[in-house]
Structure 1
């Protein structure tokens, strides 16, 4: 998990597939379970208290937006306007466990 953005209105977190955290090297004798590494982005709208998780093609489109932001540094207002466009997808209330 990697926080990409945090403001008064939004938080954006990049959720990355777990790496092998054991630190052990796998031998050829150890069978591996095939896993589909997936990543996604969680966007939390602090104003409404809702979040949306983008994965699949939505995550790919958002990743392209991030790469564009890296090439042409946007203003905070431009970033917030883009994130505000995703607010309509946010249906899940943020819950603290």
Structure 2
């Protein structure tokens, strides 16, 4: 688990879970990203193709230069609006 981003609006955490090494090839990984919308108090976990799309979008923002917090928040919000799971504090 790696916290990748923490702003006033969002938290993004990356999860990587290594799977057992396959007999015929390299080790496989499974994981995704948890996005927490602090204002809506909802979260979403994305994996697979959606997580890959998210990762590629973040990389594109970084490659274009030093993105501002507002630019990153606007990008993350596109995914965060799909969140339906309420954040529960223990």
Number of matched residues? 85
Larger radius of gyration: 1
TM-score (norm 2): 0.81
2:49 is the counterpart of 1:66: no
Instruction: List gaps (5 residues or longer) in structure 1.
Output: 20-31
Distance (Å, rounded) in 2 between the aligned partners of 1:16 and 1:92:
21
TM-score (norm 1): 0.75
Cα deviations by residue, 1:35-80 (Å, 9 ceiling, x for unpaired) = 8521200100000110011101000001101211331221111111
Shift of 1:18: 4.6
Distance (Å, rounded) in 1 between the aligned partners of 2:15 and 2:48:
12
> Which has the larger displacement, 78-87 or 53-62?
78-87
More strand by share: 2
User: Counterpart in 2 of 1:28?
Assistant: none
Matches within 5 A, 1:24-43: 37-43=29-35
SS in structure 2 at match of 1:82: helix
Structure 1 ranges of 4+ moved more than 4 A: 32-36
CA RMSD of aligned residues (A): 2.1
Contact persistence 2:18–2:30 (CA under 8 A): no
2:61 is the counterpart of 1:90: no
